Copies of this chain bind each other. A is one copy, B any other.
Amino acid sequence: MLYAVIMAGGAGTRFWPASRAALPKQLLALAGERTMLQETWDRLQGLTPVERILVVTNRALTSRVAQQLPDLPAAAILGEPCKRDTGPCTGLAAAWIARRDPDATLLMLPADHVIRQQAAFRTAVEHAVGLVHADPTRIVTFGIRPDYAAESFGYIQRGAPLPGGSADLPTFHARSFREKPTAEVARDYLATGDYYWNSGIFVWKAATILDALASREPEMFTHLERIAAAADSDRFPQVLDREFTAIAGKSIDYAVLEHYDNRVVIESPFDWDDAGSWQAMTRLHGTDDQGNTVIGGRHLGLDSTGCVVHGNPRHLVVTLGVRDCIVVQTPDATLVANKHDEEAVRQVVQQLKDRGWEAYL
């Protein structure tokens, strides 16, 4: 049976001050009418019933997640007590579901990506599920044809075509997984034509991941087993707290994917955007006739272009004679940033911590 695991623990500091510690990107409607988490939920319609969906998030966000997904039972929201990267998150979900269904197949998907072509997404997932059913030890990944030499994504190198792939869903052995490359390396990847962006969406058996962790990450595996064993006990919150905190943080790529043999990559037939920056918002929302992107705000631009404005419909943002500027307006904080310095928004968040201005985080 197919289960879906929505990974919704991201901090989203890049979108400060629209995103906050208590309201990260996946809980915002940055890309559409509904929040990214809700759109991820919607994407599962027709793939898995509600009772086979699990959301892993961080503990501080569980009530917000419950608010945004009113059909999801509270017991299907796992709140991590601390950040430990994607390895423990993935392993926890696998252990949790395997307890109930040892033969479970999992669709892992981040809550903060944008995919608009729902039918193509479902077709691709069903294809992946078929591949896992045909060979239960397979790890199936989705590769995105790169548009440019991005430094902010991991890459998947494809190998030989997999028998049984189709023209609609080109499928390959995955030859290697690469962490975020330098610009130069990324350009080389692009030149070969053999590399995909790693979408972070996976299909695999819970047992496959647990076996891989048991052999490669025995300590992590032991902690995860203890958590799963306490699932129905009153002591569960304390056990989760203690055992999860004791795990050394590691990405699932590093813990498993990079070393695993039986890996497959499907060339994604759906659009995909990680919506990872304000600049991505220009891709997602397009621009008005002055070349500005306005998200949820009221904007008047005079001699202004290339700007991204985020606000609310009752607050007027006026830009005058400015180029390539990000303006994010919220009730208690406003950011005015050069679009080319967007990466440094993380530094803003750090400086707020340093100054003790936590109220704005």
Contact = CB atoms under 8 A, between A and B. Distances in A.
Contacts of A357: 300, 316
Which of A317, A320, A341, A360 has most chain B Cβ within 10 Å? A320
Given A322-B325, A338-B321, A338-B322, A316 B344 contact: no
Contacts of A329: 334
How many monomers of this protein are in the complex?
2
Given A302-B344, A347-B302, A351-B302, A337 B325 contact: no
A316 B321 CA distance: 23
A302 B336 contact: no
A329 B345 CA distance: 20
A352 to B, nearest CB: 7
Interface in A281-328: 300, 302-303, 311, 314-322, 325, 327
A336 B315 CA distance: 13
A302 B341 CA distance: 10
A2 interface: no
B316 A336 contact: no
Interface of A: 17, 300, 302-303, 311, 314-322, 325, 327, 329, 331-338, 340-341, 344-345, 347-348, 351-352, 355, 357, 360
